[in-house]
Structure 1
Amino acid sequence: MTTMMAFFSEHGTELLYKTWEHFYISLFAMLLGVIVAIPVGIALSRVPRFADKFISFVGILQTIPSLAILAFFIPIVGIGKVPAIIALFVYSLLPILRNTYIGVRDVDPGVIEAGKGMGMSNGQSITKMELPLAMPVIMAGIRLSTVYLIGWAALAAFIGGGGLGDFIFDGLNLYQPSLILAGTIPATILAVIADRSLALLESRLTPNGMKEAA
């Protein structure tokens, strides 16, 4: 307990700042992923023949080591938070894109036809029927991406992006387990809180009929 109090006395302010920095980097990348991947996933559901090829291409990007992607963007946008956010954005795409495509594609065609029979336009069908019905699948992709990104955000420290990775790598370089734990434990807590928060959001966005069926 005394050791812990001494650590927080020395690093408490920095720990709070790094935790916020870590959260900010992860959140920004995730929001970019949602903004891009959901519309693209909806569009792909209209062209299933092309969709599989495109999703496979995005999947190939996921196989590139994260450090390689970080290094790739350094000559283009320099070091710091921007290349870190771009790299994390690339990694956020596949789960959200794939789940959006699958969720919208698997909506009962009879429901869509009923909507058209009621005079709904294509846009109204997407926003009022297809997206709400696909929401549990889409949110599963967002939750998966968020948890992954919070873990991967630690690598931002390699290129001066900040975050809790600074503690982890300092701990490795200085052989101080306390610093490693100071970076690891808050990141884990952030991931759990983010996942639970998104689960609550999913519950609010899912139509009541689907909740009862589940």
Structure 2
Amino acid sequence: MIKEVFLLYIDRWQFFLKLTMEHLKISGISILIASIIGLILGIFISEYKKTSPFILGITNFVYTIPSISLLGFLIPFSGIGNTTAVITLTIYALLPMVRNTYTGIENIDPSIIESAKGMGSTPFEILCKVKLPLATTVILSGLRNMVVMTIALGGIASFIGAGGLGVAIYRGITTNNKTMTIAGSLLIALLALIFDFIIGSIDKIIKRKWRLL
């Protein structure tokens, strides 16, 4: 089976390269949007703690909705194709970013914040120069989980007419072609592992620098 998959990659390399680029595009847009919104929401609920149960509750609730159901729910509003896929992936990617940003900031030693206030730092300076730098590793952990999950979840996007490596999986299933299904699945797994390794390496570098300070 591995030999058949390898031969399929060689024979259809342009097809798989195109799908891989589409997959990275859909996942990348979703990750970028979710990172920005998730970071903002995480900071917001850490500054206004009374809002945290409500916002975290909503993100947790949405996370429990099956991805196929959410895709189907959005089709009447955004149609079939990449737009619906990006919206769905973005929604699912929010929870890790919101939760880890909030947790990272909340776990900072209060005495450090008080020291910064005592030195005359403004709330904005404390946020940018103290809270976010100290919470970076926790935020990166959430980003790492979110990236892997988004790339993996992107495989279902083909079921609503979007592109990406899910197309290979879908074709394999509908034509009873196990080799095609495995080929698409392996590439998704490989992409997830590569980006997990990259973000993990960045996290280790940051932690090493913190230990040297």
What TM-score does the superposition give when structure 1 sets the normalisation length?
Answer: 0.92
The number of aligned residues is 212
Query: 1:6 Cα deviation (Å)?
Result: 4.5
Q: 2:116 aligns to what?
A: 115
CA distance in 2 between partners of 1:160 and 1:47 (Å)? 40
Per-residue CA distance 1:109-155 (angstroms, 9 max, x = gap): 11111112222111111111101111111111111111111111011
**1:116-135 equivalences in 2 (<5 Å):** 116-135=117-136
Counterparts in 2 of 1:94 and 1:2: CA distance versus 1, 3 Å: closer
Q: 1:43 aligns to what?
A: 44
Q: 1:199 aligns to what?
A: 200
Q: 2:61 aligns to what?
A: 60
Q: Which amino acid aligns with 1:199?
A: G
* Structural RMSD (CA): 1.9
Q: Residues 9 and 183 of structure 2 are in contact (CA less than 8 Å); yes or no, is this contact kept in structure 1?
A: no
Q: Residues 135 and 206 of structure 1 are in contact (CA less than 8 Å); yes or no, is this contact kept in structure 2?
A: no
Unaligned runs of 5+ in 2: none
Quote the sequence identity (%). 33
CA distance in 1 between partners of 2:34 and 2:4 (Å)? 41
Per-residue CA distance 1:39-77 (angstroms, 9 max, x = gap): 111110122232023201110001111111112221212
Q: 1:25 aligns to what?
A: 26
Range with bigger deviation, 140-149 or 71-80: 71-80
What TM-score does the superposition give when structure 2 sets the normalisation length?
Answer: 0.92
**1:151-162 equivalences in 2 (<5 Å):** 151-162=152-163
Per-residue CA distance 1:136-184 (angstroms, 9 max, x = gap): 1111111111111111101110111111111111111111111011101
Q: 1:178 aligns to what?
A: 179
1:76 is aligned to 2:82: no
Stretches (4+) displaced over 6 A = none
Secondary structure, aligned partner of 1:45: helix
Secondary structure, aligned partner of 2:132: helix
Unaligned runs of 5+ in 1: none
